[in-house]
Amino acid sequence: MVKRIAMIGLVGVLLMATTYVMAEEVLATQKGVKYHKETCRLIKNKDNATKMEKSEAVHAGLEPCRKCYKEDLAAALPATSSAAVTESK
């Protein structure tokens, strides 16, 4: 019984952690074309920036900042490059 309760608790914690990661908040300015992390040094007018979910920013057509999302962009490049090479053959 104790194992079952511990397992249910562990699953609950994992689900909450996954939800937190998936619901990342980003900043975007009203006239901007990119979204930024709150810690980004490039975003201007942080006081006037709007907080939104990352999924909302993507849906609105905003692109990730090259500085604060460089890891995400770098991870996407090899897949895109290899697909382009495959298509050109």
pTM: 0.57
Q: Is residue 3 part of a domain?
A: no
Q: Is residue 48 part of a domain?
A: yes
Give the model confidence (pLDDT) of 63-88 as tens digits.
999 998 887 777 777 654 444 544 54
CA atoms in the 13 A half-sphere facing the CB of 37: 10
Q: Quick count: other Cβ atoms within 10 Å of Cβ 50?
A: 13
Give the model confidence (pLDDT) of 48-65 as tens digits.
899 999 999 999 999 999
SS3 26: strand
- Total domains present in the chain: 1
Domain that holds residue 74: 24-88
CB 70 within 8 A of CB 40: no
